[in-house]
Each structure stands twice: as C-alpha cells, then as structure tokens.
Amino acid sequence: MKQTKYILLISLTVACGGLLFGFDTAVISGILPILQTHFGLNELMSGWVVSILTVGCIVGAIFSSGLADKYGRKKLLFFAAAGFFVSSLGTAFSINIYMFQSFRFLGGLAVGVASVASPMYIAEISPAGERGKMVSINQLTIVIGILAAFFSNYLFVNTGENNWRWMLLVMGIPACVFFILLFFVPETPRWLIGAGHLHEGKSVLKKILNVYDVEQEFGEIQQSLNRVEEKSSLKALLFSTSKYTLCIGIILAIFQQITGINTIMYYAPVIFDTIGFSTNSALFQTILIGSINLLFTIISMFLIDKIGRKPLLLAGSGLMALSLGILSFSIEYMGQSYGILICILIYIAAYAISLGPVTWTLISEIFPNKYRGVGMSVSTMFLWIAVFLVALFFPSILAGLGISKTFLLFMVICVASFLFYLFCIKETKNTKLENVT
C-alpha cells in the first residue's frame, strides 16, 4: 500500500508533462483570432502559427530516444519543463510574429519530448498490475490541460488588448512547479540498471516494490537488458526481432490520430456552425465535449487493468465507427438535430475510454527495455506527423467532401483500426515489461 501511494505520487508529478502538453497544444485555439488582428496575419501565416508547434513536436520526438537512453528519463523531463517555461515567457512577450513562432517551436519541442518521456517514465516505474492505470494518468492530465487552456482563454479574454499575452504567460506557472517537483522524483530503475548504476537502481526498486520482490525484479531487468548486446539504436531495432513491434507501435500511434478525434476536438465550433447551430450553442457544446472527454478518460483508468487493453480498443473503435456512421446519416438526412450532438458525445466517450489512454499505455510497454526509448520515440514521431497531416488537410477534405461524407471517411478508418486491433494486438494486462513480447 505504501509503495502504491509512492508510485501514484511520482506518476502524478511526471504526468504534469502531459498537462503542459495538453495546455500548449490547445491554448492557440483562443489566441489565433487575436494574433491575426494584432500581427496582421494572412491565412498562410495563421496556418503556420498553428502548425509550427507540431513541427517542434516531431523534432522533439525524434531526438527523445537518444537523449532518454543517454541521459535518463528524468533529465529529459527537466528539459521539457524548462522548454515549457521559456516558451511561455517567450511567446507572451513576443514583439513580432517571427519571435512568436520561434518560441512556439520551442514549446513544440517540449511537447514532443514530454509525449515520449512522461509515459515512458511512468511505465518503467509502475508494477505490471497497475501500469495501465498509472500510464493513463498521463492521458488524463493531457485532457485536463486542454480544458484548462479553454477556461484560461475564457477568463483572460476581457483583460484588454494584451489579453493574449496573459493567456500564454499563465502556462509558466505549472511549468515552474513541474520543474521544481522533478527534483523529488527518482530516475527509473530500468534506466539506472541499464546505465550501470546498479546500487541506485536497486534502491529505487526497494521504494516501489515489496522487499521480497526486489531481487527477483532486479535480476529480470538485468537479464532483459543483456539479451541484446548491440547498441540501442534505430538501426539495431530494425535488424532485431522487435522490428515487428515497431510497426505495431507506429500503426497504433497513427490510428489514434486519424480516426477523427482532433477534427472534432479542435474544429467542433466550425462543425456545429456548418450544421447550423448558433455560436453560443456551439461554444456550450464544445465545453460539453471536453467534459465528456475528461469523464470517460477517468473511467478508462479504472478499467484498463481490469478489462484489458485489447477489449477496450475493440469496444471503443467499434462504437466510434457506429456513432460516426449514424452521425453521417443524421447530418445528410436530418439536418440540425440534437441527435447529432449525442452521436458526437458517444464518439468522444468511446475514444476517451479506449484509443486515447490505451494507445499511450501500449506504446510505453510493448517494446523491450533495450529498445523502449527508440521505439517510443519513433512511434510518437509518427503520431505527431499524423496530427500535422490531419490538421493540414482536414479543411480541404471538409470543403471537398462535405461534412457528412467526411465523417463517413472517418468511420471507414475506425473500421480499419478495429480490424488491426483484432488481429494484430496482443493483450499485455498484468504482464511485466520484461515479459512483454
């Protein structure tokens, strides 16, 4: 019980990276219209202001692997916290759009690093029976960060012509707190043992395990790290049996992002406006969507280690496909209807209980200890590439196909994801990281 509380405490601390991740990606939604006026942005520049964060995320994810393996998970989290803090101040005090973009790119680097380091750290510090719940804390804090950004934007919107600066500056507070709290969490035992710090690694194991399990766990970690002698690198991973696991991780990451979630989360007002709802109604419905996302993410945390990863993915993707199919039909033949809102809320709930948290959990646990850093880094890089492409092409797809056929397209993708989960995903519930293959 004492060990569980300790693991929960340090997992919550590390998951602050997820909170800042969510805040930084969502805060631009309320700031962009103000920036367009303040800096006189055209459509191209506006798109780049939004997208440059994702470019930073991709770069951050690419370099996270080598940094995590060389310097440790904890030092990487320190970098992310510092990046969030400096980005917050830099964007808030920007005197021109180029300065703003530079610091927003830095924020993207921090998001990319946090999206790899936070779930990796939590997975390596958590016992097998509670790993899913603990890693899901990271997804929970991402969702909380998104909601916090929406509410923060709302609170500062009437604070004068520099309101956008306050919206950005507020992120510096949790970033500073996150940086300070990291001094009180240990490095993960698996990295310490892999780096040759055997005494320190065993000391951490004593804090997170029952005293009778420490020697066995210590031996299993050493054995798993010694299975592969070559250097942990992408090239080594591609020439090992784990290359198939890398393919699984990449596809998992891509499906999390191309099944339509970001289009609904970030373009909800546009979607509701297209359907015919009023602006005030669309704003309320967007908040409702965020609240449902948060509620069912919490529910997922209590199910993932009981029901398992695969059943949640199958149930979630199936329900997402069904709700999108009904949504497409309703828009095409029924027009404005609160049944449309219900379909969207069911879709959000299905995603929040499955693909959202479960994908991060699986990516953090399917790779062997030797290749976890590079495997997660590459998978997360593809996740951010998918985010970038969806954000880039969604407006064009919406204009070309219309809203009904766009949702039909996402339904087909959800069906494809269901088949992938059914035939390609193995259950990892209650399995030690050293035994996941």
Q: Give pLDDT tens digits for 179-238.
A: 999 999 999 988 898 888 888 988 888 888 776 677 888 888 777 766 544 455 667 777
Per-residue pLDDT tens over the stretch 370-426:
788 888 889 989 998 998 888 777 767 877 888 889 889 999 999 999 999 999 999
Decide if pLDDT at 177 tops 90: yes
Round to whole Å and give the CA distance between 68 and 72: 5
Phi-psi domain of 72 (left: phi exceeds 0; alpha: psi -120 through 50; beta: other): left
Percent of the chain surpassing pLDDT 70 = 89
Out of 31-45, 136-150, 280-294, give the one with best mean pLDDT: 136-150
Query: What's the Cα-to-Cα distance from 71 to each of 78, 113, 195, 313, rounded to whole Å?
Result: 11, 13, 9, 34
Decide if pLDDT at 270 tops 50: yes
The whole-chain average pLDDT of the chain stands at 84
Q: Are 340 and 27 in contact (CB under 8 A)?
A: no
* Cβ neighbours, 10 Å, residue 196: 8
What pLDDT does residue 91 have?
Answer: 93
Round to whole Å and give the CA distance between 368 and 227: 10
Question: What is the pLDDT confidence band of residue 265, given thresholds at 50, 70 and 90?
Answer: low
Identify the CA nearest to 31 among candidates 154, 203, 119. Answer: 154
For residue 308 the two structure tokens come to: 């398992």
Q: Are 110 and 84 in contact (CB under 8 A)?
A: yes
Question: Greater confidence, 45 or 2?
Answer: 45
CATH 1.10.220.70 assigned to domain 1-185? The reply is no
Round to whole Å and give the CA distance between 10 and 19: 14
Torsion of CA 196, 197, 198, 201, to 10 degrees: -130
The answer to whether the 1-185 and 230-437 domains have the same CATH topology is yes
Per-residue pLDDT tens over the stretch 35-50:
888 888 876 787 788 7
Amino acid at 364: S
| Interaxial angle between packed helices 403-424 and 372-401, expressed in degrees from 0 to 180 and rounded to the nearest 10 | 150
Question: What is the pLDDT confidence band of residue 333, given thresholds at 50, 70 and 90?
Answer: confident
Round to whole Å and give the CA distance between 146 and 37: 24
Mean pLDDT of 116-144: 86
Neighbour-count burial of 244, counting CB atoms closer than 10 A to its CB (0-12 exposed, 13-18 middle, 19+ buried): exposed
Decide if pLDDT at 65 tops 90: no
Q: Is 187 helix (H, G, I), strand (E, B) or coil?
A: coil
Where in the chain are the domains? 1-185, 230-437
Mean pLDDT of 230-253: 78
What pLDDT does residue 237 have?
Answer: 73
Q: Which fold has domain 230-437?
A: Growth Hormone; Chain: A; (1.20.1250)
Round to whole Å and give the CA distance between 390 and 177: 33
* Cβ neighbours, 10 Å, residue 289: 20
Mean pLDDT of 289-315: 91
Decide if pLDDT at 304 tops 80: yes
What pLDDT does residue 173 have?
Answer: 93
Question: Greater confidence, 163 or 238?
Answer: 163
pTM for the complete prediction?
0.79
What pLDDT does residue 70 have?
Answer: 86
Torsion of CA 210, 297, 136, 5, to 10 degrees: -30
Mean pLDDT of 327-356: 84
What pLDDT does residue 267 have?
Answer: 59
Round to whole Å and give the CA distance between 335 and 340: 9
What pLDDT does residue 229 have?
Answer: 46
* Cβ neighbours, 10 Å, residue 193: 23
What pLDDT does residue 284 have?
Answer: 63
